[in-house]
Chain A
Amino acid sequence: MQIKNSAVSMIIDASDQKELEEIKLQFLGRSGKLTLTLKEITKIPAEKRAIVGQLANEVKRVIEESIESKLSSLISYFSSQRKQNIDVTAPGIKPGIGHLHPMTQVLHDVIDIFKGIGFQVADGPEIETDYYNFTALNMPPNAPSRDTQATLYLDTKNSNAQPGQILLRTQTSNMQVRTMEKIKPPVRVIVPGKVYRVDDVDASHGFEFWQLEGFCIDKNVRLTDLFGTIDYVLKKVYGEKTKIKFATTNFGFVEPGVDTYMECTVCKGKGCNFCKQSGWSEIMPAGMVHPNVLKAAGYDSQKVSGFAFCIGLSRLVTLRYQMDDLRLLTNPDLRILEQF
């Protein structure tokens, strides 16, 4: 018993691992106190040996356990000591990786969302004919609706094209008839890409920007499907609480025509320069595909119907990150890119 008490008290007082090792040797080692005690067990009368033996083993167990627990507490003590020697509040060292452009990040998110509802992704020409960009979309030459899309025309010198015939597409809608004339319904397609307009450059306009066209043609596609699809996609991108409203508008290639407004994320609906103080951002013209467009694609408008929409992708990106200027997207400043 004496041995046990003195051992335990020494163990508790031990201040490091080395000391503990010495204590262990002192008691449990080959010439340790307990070992020696046990060796003398033969001197004890046989009838008491069992009890003494049991006692000795008990003492051995207690000493071992005490050493174990002291050891682990010492280890954790020392490791915490070690932690105190470095300033863990200093910033971490980040791995050297680059940044994907916010446009790419949003585009891939949007593509994923549309893939989830059965849309495939297509890509089409930016250098386009007047036919696919306008005429096939029920916007014949001299249609006043063309006025809203001032067009960049390509120089036709040394070519067989007539001046005014080849242009830089003003809308990704150029892919509607191009795609539809090659396949039969059902069709569900999105087309992201660059478009061009003659426009003054300001915070919310540019001469070169991104759109994402989408269309869905099938038997019995309804206006409510258009509303539902837009609502689903915008809420996936911006969150369930996103405020969306629809309004009537006119584009040659849709009837009925729909415009989509989303509460401005820059000012949270209060009104700012980006949303022209309206609190809403026009983001997505859409509508039911005009019978003349279906006809141009070779479809029978009495048998199939469809909707089309065109997301202002550049605007979608800026709204997502509360960027107040479209020009930030084409500015290659790493101080901007590193934020994404």
Chain B
Amino acid sequence: MIVPLSWLKEYVDITLTPKELGEKLTEVGLGCEKIIKTKDDVIFELEITPNRPDCLSIIGVAREIAAIENKKIKFPQLPNILKTQKPLPLIVKTDSKINPRFTGIIISGIKVGESPKWLKEKLEKMNQRPINNIVDITNYVMLELGNPIHAFDYDKIIGNIMTVSQTKGGEKFESVDGIAYRLPKDAVVISDKEKIIDLCGIKGGKNSGTYKETKTIFIRVPVEIPNLIRKSSQALGLRSDASSIFERGVNAGGTIDALKRTTDLVLELAGGKIASNPYDLKEINFKPWKLKLRKDRLNQILGINIPLKKTIDILESLNLSPVHLPGEQRRHLDDARKGGRIECTIPTYRNDLKIEEDLIEEVARIYGYNNFPKTMPKGVIPTVQVPYFKDYALDEKVKNILKASEFSEIYTYSLIGDKDLTENNIDPEKILRVDNPVSRDFEYLRPTLKINLLKAFIQNKSNFEKINLFELGKVYSGKSLDEAKEIYYLSGITNNKNFFEVKGLLEKIFEDLGIKENSTKYIEILNDGIFFEINYSELIKDFNPNKTFKPLPKYPPIVEDLSIITEGDVKTSDLISEIKNQSPLVVDVSLLDQFENSRTFHIVYQDKNKNLTGEEVAKIREKILKSLQSKFHVKLKE
């Protein structure tokens, strides 16, 4: 919303400097994004939240400033619309379910022409292009008061009839700015005897607009149903100032004032005379409503005791007509009633004020959020484990092992393109997909971390020889949403470590997590590196933080190396377990060296109850050799 300071000053006295005013407006909820100083004015650009359609008008912003400055709004008394003796004929058929309020009037004998300078300047400051006096007046009053208004050329309404209805879908419509549309189903439109003349709440029709030759106009000030406007506006991709207001909720009680203001200006700037009695078709009266605020509740939610007088003053400054009803003094009443309550009357332009908490916010924001003290929550700290608990300390532990092993961590997008999938031989048909992706490169949810790690690997090749990267992140599985699962994967890629180093790294991670798991199956050898990928969510289910201390041995071990020659395909892991199986006194076996067909094992013998003798070890060694010879046909190396 663009707001010129000069226009605001017509309704409220402002003592704050533009910078102070901008900061204060932000604090009360009208986010001031820019303050632009022009030759003769200061323009504020405000971000209006969806709950405050009233602030999509100059008067709405002026009311906020009046509350900030604690001043009264100055607005001229609007003259009542005179009755006419000879009304022109016009039948209006409407339905309050799709058009809750239809206010309007006919003015005849007008002269369409250029707007006066003051009006053109005002519109130009608001980035609006002046068109002619009638259109400019309707735009001006909308900007001023926040009620959208449309002027029809009365003579173009065939059959003197206006019918409000919903479209079936597919109808043609040309907007006042000359763009042709096919209307969606359920759009609210006005038709005359022959054709659609208005796309309600969004755009007027070209066939019934106000042009140079127009002599008689019908001015319509409606209330529309937010959802219906919103749906049509979205379906057409067409937004207007009017539709923004209607879809957030227009001031339903403001149509008569807007009609008075428009009529007054038309008579002044375009001449003519009133040619109908005002139309005001509605089923309910749009009247202010009552809302109560318990003073003790206010204190309790805010955490401070704003004095009663200050509270009343704030509500008064917001034009909420507060009336304090003192609390009952009987002793047994609960606290919430002791401070009494303040009954407010909510003007129809504040349809964001519906519950007590809304009034609490009103008091708090005008009091000023930055004037509040800061406290910490007083209650007890919850001890029950929260549902959906996640142990980030475990992630940190794992990540630190990877970091210590020269791996650097990356974070990549979960959304990937179909090309990423097909290049990695994954069928996109089997991957979860977004219906409305931001682009084709980000259409699918990744089923693996490999794709992004490979990309990252290639990206870094131009700058680095040694690359070690990992990611701990979610992958998304399931062919359809019914089976969709989000699983954490831990994956890495390296061209700086060999297979055994990666294997050892994973073994180290498993060991630290207290998990017994074979790491080989997670490792893939690439042409130019090693890749690993672990289902981390699954893995950490077996996390076991328990470690039991083993007393240091009282008796020294005997250590010896055993070199053997093997024939054919013999697995080291099989040899190691075979050696270990020969005696409980063999406490550790590791591969010391390997060259061609010879392997050297490092064997540690130890008895925790006594000193081992050479003879005892010799017996075990004999047994080991025998069993290796018979099972694997190995020979002792000479």
Contacts and interface: CB of A to CB of B under 8 A. Distances in A.
Contact of B379 (A143, A207, A221): A221
Interface stretch (B406-414, B583-591, B611-619): B406-414
A161 interface: yes
A247 B388 contact: no
A160 interface: yes
Nearest to B360: A256
B181 interface: no
A41 interface: no
A223 B360 CA distance: 10
B51 interface: yes
A183 B31 contact: no
B411 A101 contact: yes
A319 to B, nearest CB: 17
Contact of A216 (B352, B377, B437, B463): B377
Nearest to B395: A104
A168 B460 CA distance: 30
A186 B383 CA distance: 9
A142 B480 contact: no
B481 interface: yes
A130 to B, nearest CB: 13
B546 interface: no
A198 B436 contact: yes
B433 A155 contact: yes
Contact of B436 (A126, A152, A246, A250): A152
Interface stretch (A63-71, A79-87, A262-270, A325-333): A325-333
A250 B365 CA distance: 12
Interface string A45-66: 0000000000000000000000
Contacts of A107: 392
B370 A120 contact: no
A168 B434 contact: yes
B414 to A, nearest CB: 6
A145 to B, nearest CB: 5
Interface in B438-458: 438, 442, 445, 452, 455-456
Interface string A163-186: 100101000000100110011001
B414 A188 contact: no
Contacts of B414: 126, 194, 208
A93 B395 CA distance: 29
A224 B390 contact: no
B372 to A, nearest CB: 6
A288 B390 CA distance: 25
B574 to A, nearest CB: 34
Given A144-B247, A156-B481, A250-B49, A330 B378 contact: no
A288 B387 CA distance: 22
Contact of A249 (B29, B304, B459, B481): B29
Contacts of B382: 118, 120, 183, 186-188
Nearest to B431: A155
Given A98-B406, A98-B409, A155-B435, A255 B388 contact: no
B436 A218 contact: no
Interface string B352-373: 1001011011001100011011
Q: How large is the interface on A (under 10, 10 to 19, 20 to 34, 35 or more residues)?
A: 35 or more
Q: Considering residues B227, B382, B476, which has the most beta carbons from chain A within 10 angstroms of its beta carbon?
A: B382
Contact of A221 (B372, B377, B460): B377
A196 B434 CA distance: 11
Given A125-B486, A142-B226, A179-B387, A220 B434 contact: no
A118 B301 CA distance: 21
B115 to A, nearest CB: 32
Interface string A210-232: 00000010111111110111011
A98 B468 contact: yes
Given A199-B438, A333-B459, A122 B387 contact: yes
A198 B435 CA distance: 11
Contact of B408 (A123, A166, A221, A334): A334
B388 A98 contact: no
Contacts of A258: 369
Interface string B477-491: 001111010100000
A143 B247 CA distance: 9
B376 interface: yes
A222 B302 contact: yes
Given A127-B486, A250-B49, A276 B33 contact: yes
Given A228-B376, A248-B29, A155 B434 contact: yes
Interface in A95-122: 96-101, 103-104, 107-108, 111, 117-118, 120-122
Nearest to B378: A220
B27 interface: yes
Contact of B300 (A154, A182, A222, A290): A222
A201 B437 CA distance: 13
B301 A126 contact: no
Given A122-B388, A278-B33, A224 B480 contact: no
B50 interface: yes
Nearest to A314: B411
A188 B452 CA distance: 35
A249 B303 CA distance: 19
A154 B410 contact: no
B399 interface: yes
B488 to A, nearest CB: 9
A334 B379 contact: no
Given A153-B434, A246-B27, A334 B464 contact: yes
Q: Considering residues A154, A248, A249, which has the most beta carbons from chain B within 10 angstroms of its beta carbon?
A: A248
A40 interface: no
Contact of B474 (A126, A188, A196, A329): A126
B248 interface: yes
A313 to B, nearest CB: 11
A198 B438 contact: yes
A312 interface: no
Given A187-B382, A250-B50, A231 B374 contact: yes
B526 interface: no
B474 A248 contact: no
B50 A145 contact: yes
A337 interface: yes
A191 B392 CA distance: 11
B436 A104 contact: no
Contacts of B302: 222-224
A310 to B, nearest CB: 16
A337 B459 CA distance: 13
B438 A250 contact: no
A159 B482 contact: yes
A224 B306 CA distance: 13
B500 interface: no
B246 to A, nearest CB: 10
B621 interface: no
B251 to A, nearest CB: 15
A2 interface: no
Interface in B19-48: 26-29, 31, 33-34
A120 B387 CA distance: 10
Q: 10 nearest interchain CB pairs?
A: A222-B303, A224-B303, A118-B381, A248-B29, A332-B456, A256-B361, A123-B390, A228-B374, A250-B49, A144-B50
Given A228-B374, A228-B376, 11 more contacts: A96-B406, A98-B403, A118-B377, A120-B386, A143-B50, A159-B480, A224-B303, A225-B376, A229-B377, A278-B33, A334-B463
26 contacts: A98-B468, A99-B408, A122-B388, A123-B390, A126-B414, A143-B50, A153-B436, A154-B434, A155-B433, A155-B434, A158-B482, A189-B386, A220-B379, A221-B377, A221-B379, A223-B372, A224-B372, A228-B376, A229-B376, A229-B377, A247-B369, A248-B29, A248-B361, A255-B355, A288-B301, A333-B460
Interface of B: 26-29, 31, 33-34, 49-52, 226-227, 230-231, 247-248, 300-304, 352, 355, 357-358, 360-361, 364-365, 369-370, 372-382, 384-392, 396, 399-400, 402-415, 432-438, 442, 445, 452, 455-456, 459-460, 463-464, 467-469, 474, 476, 479-482, 484, 486
